[in-house]
């Protein structure tokens, strides 16, 4: 077995929207080893979700390679990709995405049912027990707190025993105490089961549960921090945000300069043309100043 659960090489993802191209990922190379917990941080729009979607086979890179173990995802058909996601990958989102009419147990069993597999009797209670919800299996989402709902979502993600769990802001909708409960569960999953977790977060406290933090700026990896405390991560994040702002200011400066140069070139052209027309019309090169009129 390869030691890397997921490996991205030189991944680019460009979007065309309304005639303009956006480069969401600009040459990302990253490996996520088995049994490790990685947090991904970066300013809004830096490409975190796109990175997660490309790594999870939910989106296809414009170029580059994404491997899950020995499987190259970018060359798989849609059908193979769907099966691979169902069998080998788990997801947790900020909005728990539970089905409101199903109980906790039914929501948890859903991936196996969708796969047409008979649900082994002990599997669902075991998954709910793992997330501390054994006594809530007959409750519907509306009868559960936010933290409990996210734990059901986690049980649902774990029922297939995925190699990698992707989480996009999993604690974003939770208060800090229940957020911590979910993070403790994620940590235990990595330590006890050897699952690889890749989690996008804005929260330095959440990121401090990870083994390392990868920082993204404008679709590029902008350094990593291993074993950082929440204040260390917050400090690094502030400088990463500065780097993003500076890059954008530089871009804006470059564009302004280019626009100025363009305007000057056009003004010069216009001047040249006007002078050429004047010469053709036999007009004097410089018009005499009008007489000053006394007031
Ligand atoms: P983050 O999660 O870090 O906030 P995203 O990965 O969502 O950033 O987005 C990165 C960039 O790609 C942004 O500029 C965003 O507007 C753009 N983008 C993301 N998805 C799409 C899409 N489907 N179509 C067009 N542009 C997109
Ligand atoms: Mg996002």
List the residue whose alpha carbon is closest to atom 14 of ligand 1: 45
Q: CA geometry: angle at 76 spanning 72 and 78, to 5°?
A: 145
List the residue whose alpha carbon is closest to atom 17 of ligand 1: 24
Q: How far apart are CA 42 and CA 169, in angstroms?
A: 12
Domains and CATH numbers, the chain: 4-97+157-248 (3.40.50.300)
Distance in Å, CA 202 to ligand 2 centroid: 10
pTM for this structure?
Answer: 0.82
Q: CA geometry: angle at 59 spanning 53 and 63, to 5°?
A: 105
List the residue whose alpha carbon is closest to atom 26 of ligand 1: 15
Q: Tell me the ligand closest to 24's alpha carbon.
A: 1
**Nearest CA among 160, 161, 167 for reference residue 182:** 167
Is 24 touching ligand 1 by the criterion CB < 6 Å? yes
The answer to whether the beta carbons of residues 151 and 173 sit under 8 Å apart is: no
Task: Please report the pLDDT score of residue 1 as a whole number.
Answer: 52
Q: Tell me the ligand closest to 219's alpha carbon.
A: 1
Q: How far apart are CA 163 and CA 191, in angstroms?
A: 13
pLDDT digits (tens, 9 = 90+) for 35-60: 999 999 999 999 999 999 999 999 99
List the residue whose alpha carbon is closest to atom 6 of ligand 1: 47
Distance in Å, CA 220 to ligand 1 centroid: 13
Is 42 touching ligand 1 by the criterion CB < 6 Å? yes
Q: CA geometry: angle at 52 spanning 47 and 56, to 5°?
A: 145
| Atom of ligand 1 at shortest range from CA of 51 | 6
Task: Please report the pLDDT score of residue 102 as a whole number.
Answer: 95
Instruction: Quote the tokens at residue 26.
Output: 């600009």
127-131, 135-139, 220-224, 251-255 — which is least confidently predicted? 251-255
- State the pLDDT confidence band at 133, using cuts at 50, 70 and 90: very high
Exposure string for 75-90, b = 16+ CB within 10 A, e = fewer: ebeeeebeebbeebbb
Q: Tell me the ligand closest to 241's alpha carbon.
A: 1
- State the pLDDT confidence band at 266, using cuts at 50, 70 and 90: confident
- Tell me the mean pLDDT in the region 140-145: 95
């Amino acid at each position: 077995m390869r030691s890397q659960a997921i490996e991205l090489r030189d991944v680019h993802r460009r979007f065309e929207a309304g005639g303009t191209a956006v480069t969401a990922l600009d040459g990302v190379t990253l490996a996520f080893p088995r049994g490790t917990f990685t947090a991904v941080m970066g300013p809004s729009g830096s490409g975190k979700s796109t990175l997660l979607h490309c790594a999870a086979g939910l989106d296809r890179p414009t170029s580059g390679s994404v491997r899950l173990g020995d499987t190259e995802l970018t060359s798989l058909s849609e059908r193979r990709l769907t099966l691979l996601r169902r069998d080998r990958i788990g997801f947790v989102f900020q909005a728990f995405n539970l089905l409101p009419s199903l109980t906790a147990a039914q929501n948890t069993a859903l991936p196996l049912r969708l796969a047409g597999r008979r649900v082994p009797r002990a599997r669902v209670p075991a998954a709910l027990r793992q997330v501390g919800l054994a006594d809530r299996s007959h409750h519907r989402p509306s009868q559960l707190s936010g933290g409990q709902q996210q734990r059901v979502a986690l049980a649902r993600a774990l029922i297939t025993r995925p190699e990698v769990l992707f989480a996009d802001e999993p604690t974003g909708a939770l208060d800090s105490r229940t957020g911590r409960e979910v993070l403790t569960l994620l940590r235990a999953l990595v330590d006890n089961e050897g699952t690889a977790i890749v989690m996008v977060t804005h929260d330095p406290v959440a990121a401090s549960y990870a083994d390392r933090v990868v920082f993204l700026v404008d679709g590029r990896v902008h350094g990593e921090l291993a074993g950082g405390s929440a204040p260390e991560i917050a400090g690094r994040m502030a400088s990463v945000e500065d780097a993003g702002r500076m890059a954008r200011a530089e871009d804006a400066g470059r564009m302004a300069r280019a626009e100025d140069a363009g305007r000057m070139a056009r003004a010069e052209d216009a001047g040249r043309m006007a002078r050429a027309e004047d010469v053709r019309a036999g007009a004097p090169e410089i018009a005499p100043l009008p007489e000053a009129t006394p007031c």
